Structure 1
Amino acid sequence: MRKVIIPVLICLLTITGCSKRYDEQTITEAKKVATSYIENNYKSVESIKLEEPYRGQMGSLKVDGTVNEIGFSISFNEDLTFKGISTEEKFPERKDECKDTSCEY
């Protein structure tokens, strides 16, 4: 019986440990930074829709969403500054002045 309980507990701890919930202030700030980053670094942004922030596999806070109905995932450093973004095909192009380095957001 013990041999079954220990692996089950380990699995439960692993699963629940990866689903860290963030407080409202952190959620609000992450969404604000994500919106600002996209608006200031990409051309032709007509609409931005964001999902709830979550903890990614590597431990950083992430927000998924769409810009003009095209998906993206943005990740943040611990201080909620921009870390990286992955985008789907046909995502809006970066602004010319923001291609080499991110523009102020």
Structure 2
Amino acid sequence: MKSTAAVFLLVFILGCNATSSTETFDKQTIEKAREHVESYFRHNYKNADKITFSDDTSDPMEGLIINGTVNGAEFSASVEPETFVVKSVGETEGFPDVKEECRDTVCDYE
């Protein structure tokens, strides 16, 4: 019984440490990531006209997530905080289509 309680306590403590250690990023890093995400959308998607960003940059895996909308459709972009490379994008219905020339390979962006 004691060993079960000890294992439970150990898992609980480790779980708390894992969830409380989310990294936060300074305003300059977030702004630069937003610039790269905007460039990514403008270079890789058709008619990415109106891009807005939300304040939420949380990621349970301790990365940098940029959230917002493109033409009113929501997105969530995972960005490498050291190089500002867009690693992946989650899109909702109504999101602009990818440009034909950018379907197989990501088109250049800044």
TM-score for both structures, normalised by structure 2: 0.76
Distance in structure 2 (CA, Å) of the matches to 1:76 and 1:46: 21
CA distance in 2, matches of 1:85, 1:64: 10
Provide the alpha-carbon RMSD of the alignment: 2.2
Provide the residue aligned with 2:107 in structure 1. Answer: 103
Call closer, same or farther: CA 1:73–1:44 in 2, change over 3 Å: same
2:92 maps to 1:84:
no
* Matched letter for residue 83 of structure 1: K
5+ residue gaps, structure 2: 1-8
CA contact (8 A) 1:30 1:53 kept: no
Provide the C-alpha distance between the structure 2 equivalents of 1:58 and 1:21, rounded to a whole number of angstroms.
12
57, 70, 76: which one pairs with 1:67?
A: 70
Written as runs of structure 1 = structure 2, the 5 A alignment for 1:1-105 is: 10=13, 13-18=17-22, 20-52=23-55, 54-77=57-80, 78-105=82-109
Are the structure 2 counterparts of residues 86 and 67 from structure 1 closer, same or farther at C-alpha, using a change threshold of 3 Å? same
Aligned residues: 99
- Structure 1 letter corresponding to 2:52: K
Moved beyond 6 Å, runs of 4+? none
If the length of structure 1 is used for normalisation, what is the TM-score? 0.80
The residue type equivalent to 2:96 in the other structure is P
Give the greater-gyration-radius structure (CA).
2
Pairwise CA distance, 1:12: 6.5
47-56 vs 61-70, greater mean Cα deviation: 47-56
Question: Identity of paired residues, percent?
Answer: 34
1:51, distance to aligned residue in structure 2 (A): 1.6
Deviates more, 1:47-56 or 1:86-95: 47-56
Give the secondary-structure state (helix, strand or coil) at the position aligned to 2:25.
Answer: coil
